[in-house]
């Protein structure tokens, strides 16, 4: 899908996904609930713990016009096991409150870091 950096003052064309819009997508309950969801669902992979691997996996995903989380991709890797665990947790998320532009729901890219530490 084509990307649009910031569409604050224009309409998205069909098939485009924005990086920034007037109203960004939000996890149900806000940032505090998002952090709680990550904390409750994320597991440090045993292989990473045994190897002493800690750090951050950065992911990008799309929040669709209906709030569904799709197209989860690692954009900064840490370790294959940690990357897979981060993807698993993001894919498990409930639907978000969609982003909107000019009063219409639009698909928006969302970048999110997940930190692995013990």
Predicted local distance difference test score (pLDDT) of residue 19: 83
Predicted local distance difference test score (pLDDT) of residue 39: 95
User: Which tens digit of pLDDT belongs to each residue from 17-57?
Assistant: 888 899 999 999 999 999 999 999 999 999 999 999 999 99
Of the chain, the percentage scoring pLDDT greater than 70 comes to 90
Predicted local distance difference test score (pLDDT) of residue 18: 84
User: Which tens digit of pLDDT belongs to each residue from 49-73?
Assistant: 999 999 999 999 999 999 999 999 9
In the chain, what are the domains? 3-10+26-116 (3.30.2420)
Measured between alpha carbons, how far is 82 from 31 in angstroms, rounded to an integer? 22
- The pLDDT of residue 7 is above 60: no
Contacts of 9 (CB under 8 A, 6+ apart): none
Measured between alpha carbons, how far is 96 from 81 in angstroms, rounded to an integer? 26
Contact of 78 with 55, CB cutoff 8 Å: yes
Contact of 53 with 79, CB cutoff 8 Å: yes
pLDDT top residue among 70 and 10: 70
Predicted local distance difference test score (pLDDT) of residue 11: 65
């Amino acid at each position: 899908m084509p990307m649009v950096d910031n569409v604050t003052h224009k309409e998205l064309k069909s098939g485009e996904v924005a990086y920034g819009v007037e109203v960004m997508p939000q996890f149900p309950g806000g940032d505090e609930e998002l952090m709680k969801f990550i904390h409750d669902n994320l597991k440090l992979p045993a292989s990473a713990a045994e190897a002493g691997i800690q750090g951050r996996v950065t992911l990008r995903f799309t929040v669709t016009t209906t709030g569904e989380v799709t197209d989860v991709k690692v954009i900064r890797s840490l370790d294959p096991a940690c990357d897979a665990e981060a993807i698993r947790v993001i894919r498990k998320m409930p639907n978000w409150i969609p982003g909107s532009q000019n009063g219409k729901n639009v698909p928006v890219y969302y970048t999110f870091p997940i930190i692995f530490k013990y």
